[in-house]
Structure 1
Amino acid sequence: MTGHGGGGEYKDLVVFLAAAGVMVPLFNRLKISPILGFLAAGVLLGPDGLARFADTAPWLAWLTISDAGQIRSLSELGVAFLLFMIGLELSWGRLKSMRRLVFGLGLTQVAACTVVLAALFMMLGQTLVSAAVLGMGLSLSSTAVVMPVLAESGRVQTASGRATFSILLAQDLAVAPILITVTVLAALAQSGGDLAPGTLGAALLTLVPAAIGLALLVGLGRLVLRPMFRSVARAKARGQGQEMFVAASLLVVVGAGLAAQAAGLSMSLGALIAGLLLAETEFRREVELSIEPFKGLLLGVFFVGVGIGLDLDAVAANPAWVFGLAAALTAIKIGMIFGAARLWGIKRKAAIETALVLGPAGEFAFVILGAGLVEGIASPAFTGTVLVAATISIFTIPAMAALAGWLTREAPAAPDLPQEALEPVGAENQVLVVGYGRVGRLVGEMLSEHGQSYLALDSNASTVAKGRAEGSNVFYGDAGRAEMLQLCGVDTARAVVVTMDSPGKVDEVVRTARALRPDLILIARARDDRHAVRLYQLGVTDAVPETTEAALQLAENTLVDLGVPMGLVLASIHERRDRFRTLFQDAMPDRDARPRKARALRTAARP
């Protein structure tokens, strides 16, 4: 690295930021997880990438990362921030509602994959302790890659999405016990593998300082965190800026991580505990928003470090062994996860999709195997090869998700519907209702009552059959396809109302309809306030969040039953609804333009 004073000490940071500014947007445009962009950047900018040619072209040295150790130091912070965010998302209530899938299916998967993979590594000549560490590390999957891939395809709320999230949550909870287990195994390995009670007791004694540090961390966190953030919130209310909240959030993550390290634990475990403690406070969402930009960037540093560590020479020396190992590890996990999912009552198609997306390795494999190397209980050469295979498997996650979608796709139409139900013919100046369940049916009835013609579209064959039997103008089809919307007359429709209860599908229909007609009146059903904000960002004229409308209806009925005059109640409800709409629209990037546009569209549409 160049000496101080010439700017060379910041060269690696500049190269990383440049890669983040180029590779990640490129991968986003190609609809590929940005995590894979960071991995690719690490491979390209590392010693086995462009740096190979620096001797013949010295200027390439300025386009590569020369100090991998510095990147790895920063990457520890990235993992800590990831675990902190995971801790923020957890709560006792959430765990209780998902306990069957999380503690049943999830822990079954971790245990089964650990045992089978450890047995495989013992067959390959590894010791019991080394094989156990390898099995535990590779039994985990990639939360950072899988969840964005599922969100992009709108499958988070499906049966497979819920099963996948439950397993990932169980894996996240298992990281801390696994890291502690690695410490115990290290003590056993140093004693020659003697499992006598005295030796095991001595190994467990090595955890006493860690246990004391853990208890102190939890106790101090409960005493300090809430008062500290209350003080920061008061300062923010006095106009002293958001930066104080950001600084306090960073202090909690880094401080908890360093405290955990001082107690003999990992920085990531300390950050997880801090997140769990803050998840029970009223400052949870504000902290999450403050940390999000740093988490993404530092997690990017982690994956760049993983890419830099990818030994391409090992791949080139024996590609069949490396790729074969990656395929074998992935195949074993797919089989074990599918079996566990079926054992816990997950339907076949959902089990297939869950197993495929969780089959590849995850980011915590590098954390756990790295801990094994530090403790001296993992073979450096063999572990290096395993990490290369794990990196290769992570790159296959988008392809696995696509394969899962192809294998579990539904038939495009139900054969028992009459032909006229499959061929919608759009008329001019009608309203297009997407989704004809209970909400869509009521919307259609109200439109008819006020003399407005409509055409309804639904992808559920039984719903379509029932609607047509009642004489409704409803057809079978997927409104997420531009061709279907055009066939339904979206080019001349007065408005489109999206009533489905699947947020991912609602987003898909909104994007498609807005792309076809920028001037279209577009009203969509939202799951909650956050979903409503996202819909306004996608370009809807109005978004109607279920939770807000339910609360307003409850308030209206309560006030009327208490004897408050109906006129006053309706006026206040209308005022509050407008206030919510303004808040949602204010979250839009061009918040000053779109509300005016929406109002102009509504005014123009009035007869």
Structure 2
Amino acid sequence: MAIDLLYNCLIFLAAAVLIVPLVKRLGLGEVLGYLIAGVVIGPSVLGLVPDAEAVLQFSEVGIVFLLFVIGLELKPSRLKLMRKPVFGFGGLQMLITSLVLGGLALMLGLSPAPALVVGFSLGLCSTPLVLQLLGEKGELTTRHGRLGFALLLFQDMAAIPVLAAIPLLAGSVVMTDGWGVMLRDTLIGVGAFIALIVGGRHLLRPLFRFAAATRSRQVFAGTSLLVVIGAALSMELAGLSMALGAFIAGVLLADSEYRHSIEADIEPFRGLLLGLFFMAVGMTAQIGLLGERPGLVLGLTALLLVAKWASVMIASRAYGTSWRDALNLGVLLSQGGEFAFVLLTAAGAAALLAPDLVGLLVLVVSLSMAATPVLFQLHTRLVRPRFAPPAPKREYDQPADTSAQIIIAGFGRFGQVIGRTLQGLHIPYTILDINAEHVAFVRRYGNEIYFGDASRLDLLEAAGADRARILVVAISDVETSLRIVQRVQRRFPKLRLFARARNRHHAQLLMRAGVQDIVRDLLPASLELTREVLVALGIERQHAQHTVDTFRHHDTTTLMRQTETFGDEAQQIQTAQQAAKELEELFEADEDVVTEAPAPITETRDTHY
């Protein structure tokens, strides 16, 4: 059993590594690469992995993780603002598309009930496919990206009552009992939905606070997986969508200080399982049917793509979008979706649709998903330029970037001074701190701070290190500080580093690592106190300040010289002795230094102290 599992893992990884980069290099995107890889290793071609259905069922967990990560990016306030596009545009599009496709099914000979199920099933779009394409192009935050996501979210919710109504449409239950069953299932679903929201708001943060207090990355990652799978499973048991449960859990954690850490932990699972899902879709496609009846299969696929493209265009224009956004949405949403597999299979099991028809429609949906990345690439290269807005006569003014361009790693006493100053200047910044209790304490005072280990590259990326300008390493631990510096220099070479040095040795290590902007913990404070001591001895303040500045400059020069001989103790001692002698000579030669005996100390304190 273990050997079979390892063998299947090897096959999937080899197919992904060999095929996906090749397809992506051709400019066709990762999704199509995974689909082709699944076809190649599936039963229709090489047959290396025979049980494609089992792989598909397992890989649907990837959709769950995808919706959870999307939920993390949506704060409840923002989700509330999306209610109009979700129910307005989403409902309008589903109504038009279902009527158009249902009407075509009637024309092709289906009776009303099966035609209604087929029309709605084929009207659903592929959530992971569309979001992956938008993510690859960086268009999730565009107008058509937001409308596309709103539509997908509405479809996930709308598919649930249709799935529950299939037995009624098939006549497999008595109508008097059927309405009772539907009412019962609806009440259970609504109750579970409310329980997830209420329970999540009161339980999720304490749960993650407990996991963070363990200081174990494995425990924290396990807690993240527990929340995602638990929320998804609770909705599934209540008759709702697993993806919807995971999405709600993500939204509930969007305002949490643990958001970046959770996202960094979930991201690897999301990527792997989504890739596996698309490969499983390619494996389940009955390519043999394409060889037997190519005209019928390709004709129905083209009909589906054209009908959905036209329906989405009509709905988009009716909703008030521009022609450019309508065309983008038409191409993105013209395919069938993974929920069509669920609905069509359920309709076949209820004897509402014939098994041969279910197999044919599943293949059509699979081919439409495979065609979408190609059509989207062609649309991007050939159609979009024709609808690009005309170049302005003069360049627009560039607005200030309000995104967080500064990341502070460590928010103890040192980092708080920096943060308070930036906050006073209204300069946005992101804070990462590994101490869970410290994070909770600081957030009570209204500061935006996130729990996480800043030495983790995935967490830094989630916090926006690839877009930020400055990283302040305000951590006193020498090993952690150096680890952050070394990893950031490799992954984010354009990110400017400012570092806190615990002592002279720490400063030398940072300088050897290439950090130029370094401040030692005690040096500024000790020099400031030295200046005040000199003033109290009777030296004029400007002379005392000059003496301190001379010492600072000489000490910095000495530190750089000692860094060159780092590790040679004898040379270090010699350099220190030589530096002490040089400093004496500098003070003796300085004409601004008062050489007279200082006045005696009195009890009178300087008002500038």
TM-score (norm 1): 0.64
Residue aligning to 1:170 = 151
Name the CA shift for 1:80/1:349 in 2 (closer, same or farther; >3 Å). closer
| Aligned mates of 1:93, 1:198 — CA distance in 2 | 41
Q: Please, which runs of 5 or more residues in structure 2 have no aligned partner?
A: 408-419, 429-467, 475-483, 497-512, 518-609
Q: Deviations over 1:59-97 (max 9, x none)?
A: xxxxx1122243123213222222323333334322333
Percent of aligned pairs with the same amino acid: 32
Q: CA deviation at 1:298?
A: 1.0
Q: Which has the larger radius of gyration?
A: 2
| Equivalent residue, structure 2, for 1:409 | 385
2:16 paired residue number: 20
Matched, 1:46 2:42: yes
Root-mean-square deviation (CA, aligned residues, Å) is: 3.7
**Conserved 8 A contact 2:67-2:247:** yes
1:222-301 residue pairs with structure 2 within 5 A? Answer: 222-236=201-215, 240=216, 242-301=217-276
Distance 2:334 2:299 in 1: 15
> How far is 1:321 from its partner?
0.9
Which whole-Å CA distance do the structure 2 matches of 1:413 and 1:598 have between them?
A: 44
- Aligned ranges for residues 493-508 of structure 1 at < 5 Å? none
What corresponds to 2:607 in structure 1? Answer: none
Q: Distance in 2 between matches of 1:152 and 1:527?
A: 24
Given that 1:95 and 1:102 are in contact with CA atoms closer than 8 Å, whether structure 2 keeps it comes out as no
Alignment partner of 1:306 is 2:281: yes
CA shift for structure 1 position 106: 2.6
Work out which of the residue numbers 154, 157, 162 in structure 2 matches 1:181.
162
- Map of 1:565-584 to 2, 5 A cutoff? 580=471
Alignment partners' CA distance in 2, 1:379 and 1:280: 48
Partner of 1:396: helix, strand, or coil? Answer: helix
Residue 123, structure 1, aligned to residue 104, structure 2: no
Distance 1:181 1:343 in 2: 25
Change (3 A) 1:527 1:121: farther
* Aligned counterpart for 2:72 among listed residues 88, 107, 110: 88
Q: Are the equivalent residues in 1 in contact too, given 2:134–2:145 (CA < 8 A)?
A: no
**Distance apart, 1:131 and its partner CA:** 2.8
Which amino acid in the other structure matches residue 393 of structure 2? S
Instruction: Report the equivalent of 2:392.
Output: 461
Give the match for residue 291 of structure 2.
Answer: 316
Counterpart residue type for residue 29 of structure 1: R
The question of 1:335 aligning with 2:331 is answered no
The 1-side partners of 2:70 and 2:31 are apart by: 17
CA distance in 2, matches of 1:123, 1:284: 50
2:327 pairs with 352, 356, 376, which one?
A: 352
Please show how residues 376-525 of structure 1 align to structure 2 within 5 Å: 377-405=352-380, 406-410=382-386, 460-463=391-394
Q: Which runs of 5+ in 1 are unaligned?
A: 52-63, 415-459, 467-498, 502-524, 534-547, 557-576, 601-607
- CA distance in 1 between partners of 2:388 and 2:232 (Å): 51
CA distance, structure 2, for counterparts of residue 81 and residue 592 of structure 1: 27
Shift of 1:35: 1.9
- Kept in 1, the 8 Å contact 2:130–2:332? The answer is yes
Q: How far apart are the structure 1 equivalents of 2:256 and 2:222?
A: 18
AA aligned to 1:177 is A
Return the offset for 1:125. Answer: 3.1
Is the 8 Å Cα contact of residues 35 and 278 (structure 2) preserved in structure 1? yes
| Structure 1 stretch displaced more, 296-305 or 371-380 | 371-380
Shift in alpha-carbon separation, 1:247–1:371, aligned structure 2, 3 A: farther
Pairs aligned (count):
440
Tell me which amino acid in the other structure corresponds to 1:85.
V
Residues 364 and 526 (structure 1), Cα distance of their counterparts in 2 relative to 1, 3 Å cut:
farther
Contact 2:126 2:338 in 1 (8 A): yes
Matched AA of 1:15: I
Residues 155, 295 of structure 1: alpha-carbon distance in 2 compared, 3 angstrom cutoff: closer
Q: Indicate how the Cα distance of structure 1 residues 146 and 550 shifts in structure 2: closer, same or farther if over 3 A, else same.
A: farther
- Which region of structure 1 is more displaced relative to structure 2, 100-109 or 276-285? 276-285
CA distance in 2, matches of 1:284, 1:372: 40
Mapped to 2, the partners of 1:266 and 1:131 lie a distance apart of: 23
Query: Would the aligned equivalents of 1:260 and 1:266 in 2 still touch at CA under 8 Å?
Result: yes
- 8 Å contact from structure 1 (residues 252, 274) kept in 2: yes
Separation of aligned partners in 2, 1:355 and 1:413: 19
- Corresponding residue number in structure 2 for 1:55: none
How many angstroms apart in 2 are the aligned matches of 1:592 and 1:199?
Answer: 60
List per-residue Cα deviations over 1:118-144 (Å, max 9, x = no partner).
222233333434333332232232343
Q: Distance in 1 between matches of 2:194 and 2:81?
A: 27
Match of 1:366 in 2: 341
Q: Residue 551 and residue 46 in structure 1: after superposition, are their counterparts in 2 closer, same or farther (change >3 A)?
A: same
Q: Distance in 2 between matches of 1:585 and 1:166?
A: 40
CA distance in 2, matches of 1:120, 1:40: 29
The 1-side partners of 2:363 and 2:283 are apart by 11
Post-superposition offset of 1:322:
0.8
